[in-house]
Amino acid sequence: MALHEQNIRLTFGLKLRQLRQEKGLSLQALSQRTGISVSYLNEIEKGKKYPKTNKIAALAEGLDVSYDWLVSLQLHPKLAPLTELLQSNLLQELPLDVLGIDRAKLIELLADAPAKLSAFVSTLIEISRNYDMQVEQFFFSVLRSYQEMHNNYFEDLEEVAADFSAQYLLERQADSHTLSSMLEEHFGISTRYEDFQPEALHALRSVYLPQKRLLLINRHLSKAQRRFVLARELGFAHLALSPRPYTFSWVTVSSFEEVLNNFKASYFAGALLLPAADLLPSIEKLFKGPEWQPAAWLALLERYVVTPETLLHRFTSLLPHFLGLQELFFLRFGTDTSSQEVRLTKEMHLGQLHNPHATALHEHYCRRWVSLQVLHAMQNQRQEGYLCDSQISDYIDSPNRYWVLTMARSMYPTPATLSSVSIGILLNEKSQQLIRFLENPQLPRRKVGETCERCSAHDCAERAAPPSVLEAKQQHQARLEALQELVRRYEQP
């Protein structure tokens, strides 16, 4: 596998640093031997610069090694783990810059303890194998961390969306025809509605053909879904994002940059369809109401012609930034009408890692969650359209309480699939001041757990599995206490 240019610079820098330290030379001393400035030597060692031929010759002479050995990609045996890491191109796949990590500094730190690095990398690989974690799952996890770092609010994308709307005089409720016309007139992208065949393609919402500048849209999408697909495509075009996925939803994931650009286009779409200046007053009005009114929350979907996921995901951007509700979570669950299996397919935590999260693989999520209750209601009643509900969730064995708002719908173009999206806001002084109806006794309140396997609730009618994880922890704790008592007994005089 050919090494990336940056990896070649890093390898050369590591070798130079290793040789200099072995010979007990400071940067100043090596500078005097070679006539190369200290600052330039420092940049070489950090992998920022690759010296020209005459400087490499001077370095080889100053360090008393051959020119050919110095320019080879072979490192000292003790740096073998770093050699493997660099040759794998893994560092080019990891989006370190997004997380604020300097790649060269990371390599410099790792070079000081290569044996420990090897064990650390091996451990990470083993963990990923045990949890069957694919590369794309890792990319999505990094993206989630990136969103959480910024409280899921991105000023630059907000401004671009607002400027775009003003420039093209776009109305809040612009229909699909208007959005399609904008794509063709301003970006030369035409649209066509198709029946995606064969059945394996039914779940796709759109396919973009770059050579023909043609966007194929699944004709079975709802009006709200069509608008989001088109607004997202406007985001790709207006922001000139590349690389990018050509299918919606994902079929293959090639790089983190592709995942990040997809997020930017989707964020742009949300900001375009749900402008902050228009949506925030509506949210604040509902918060100030004395009663929980599900119909009023559902009315937002009709007013803005968006899906529940677009609406509640937009909440995660606006509530922390504008209303100071910093501690909240977003969850998306899916299930099939032919199955009772519930899958947590998307999550985000702002402010902290909140109680409901996906660390419990292959366990049974608490059936008392309103997120699951609305799915059950839709599956039993087979209602068309949307369902909306909320509750105050008081977590067992935890001091945390949340107000959870949930919306559910059939997942067109696959109506046999149901989905619920939820936003949970931690109940604290700030949220209780802003959301007036929290004290209304008509608002449902429930004691909830995380998963059945971890829950201490007795006589739970909704329990789907025994508390096996909890019992294992309790047995371990009892063993520790018994061991401590045994040691104390023999330590007594």
Closest CA to 440 of 301, 315, 303, 288: 288
pLDDT band per the 50, 70, 90 thresholds, residue 91: low
Q: Does residue 115 carry a pLDDT above 80?
A: no
Confidence check: pLDDT of 308 > 60: yes
**Predicted local distance difference test score (pLDDT) of residue 345:** 87
Is pLDDT above 90 for 277? yes
Answer with the residue of higher pLDDT: 106 or 90.
106
Within its chain, how far is the Cα of 370 from the centroid?
A: 23
180 versus 380: the higher-pLDDT residue is 180
Place of tokens 């010979």: 23
Better pLDDT: 422 or 99: 422
Pick the CATH number of 5-133 from 1.20.1250.20, 3.40.630.30, 1.10.260.40, 3.40.1110.10: 1.10.260.40
Question: What mean pLDDT is reported for the chain?
Answer: 86
Q: Please, which pLDDT band fits residue 104 given cuts at 50, 70 and 90? A: low
In this prediction, residue 22 carries a pLDDT of: 85
Extract the tokens encoding 403: 């107000």
Q: For residue range 132-146, list pLDDT tens digits in order.
A: 556 677 788 888 888
The CA-CA-CA angle for residues 437, 283, 303, to 5°, reads 120
Query: What is the C-alpha to C-alpha distance for residues 256 and 254, in angstroms, rounded to an integer?
Result: 7
pLDDT for the residue numbered 28: 92
Predicted confidence at residue 459, as pLDDT, reads 84
Long-range CB pairs of 201-206, under 8 A, 24+ apart, other chains included: 202/413, 202/414, 203/249, 203/413, 203/414, 203/417, 204/247, 204/248, 204/249, 204/251, 205/229, 205/248, 205/249, 205/413, 206/233, 206/247, 206/248
Reported as a pLDDT band with limits 50, 70 and 90, residue 475 is very high
pLDDT value of residue 80: 59
261 has pLDDT over 50: yes
Least confident of 47-51, 193-197, 250-254, 378-382: 378-382
Look up residue 141 and give its amino acid: S
If DSSP codes are grouped into helix, strand and coil, which group holds residue 200?
A: helix
Q: Averaged over 287-303, what is the pLDDT?
A: 94
Band (pLDDT 50/70/90 cuts) for residue 381 is: low
pLDDT (mean) for 206-225: 95
- How much of the chain, in percent, has pLDDT values that exceed 70? 84
> What is the pLDDT confidence band of residue 3, given thresholds at 50, 70 and 90?
very low
Q: What is the model's pLDDT at position 81?
A: 59
Q: What pLDDT score does 1 carry?
A: 37
pLDDT category of residue 129 using cuts at 50, 70 and 90: low
**Given a cut of 60, is residue 88 above it in pLDDT?**
no
According to the model, what pLDDT value does residue 328 have? 94
pLDDT of residue 2: 40
User: What per-residue confidence (pLDDT) applies to 118?
Assistant: 55
- Closest alpha carbon to 348 in 331, 369, 368, 365: 331
Q: What is the pLDDT of residue 127?
A: 60
What is the average pLDDT across 391-400? Answer: 91
Assess whether pLDDT exceeds 80 at residue 92.
no
Q: What are phi and psi of 360, to 5 degrees?
A: -90, 85
Residues 288-302, mean pLDDT to the nearest whole number: 94
Angstrom distance (rounded) from CA 272 to CA 347: 23
Q: d(Cα 347, Cα 472) in Å, to the nearest integer?
A: 27
Q: pLDDT tens digits, residue range 148-194?
A: 889 999 999 999 999 999 988 777 678 999 999 999 999 999 999 99
Q: How far is CA 48 from CA 31, 55, 388, in A?
A: 17, 15, 54
Of the two residues 354 and 489, the one the predictor is more confident about is 489
- Band of residue 48 on the pLDDT scale cut at 50, 70, 90: confident
38-45 mean pLDDT: 89
Between 409 and 473, name the one with better pLDDT. Answer: 473
**Domain 149-273 grouped into CATH 1.10.40.50:** no
Q: Structure pTM?
A: 0.79
pLDDT band at 43; cut points 50, 70, 90: confident
Q: Is 345 helix (H, G, I), strand (E, B) or coil?
A: strand
Q: Is the pLDDT of residue 125 over 60?
A: no
322-360 tens-digit pLDDT: 999 999 999 999 888 777 788 888 989 998 877 776 555
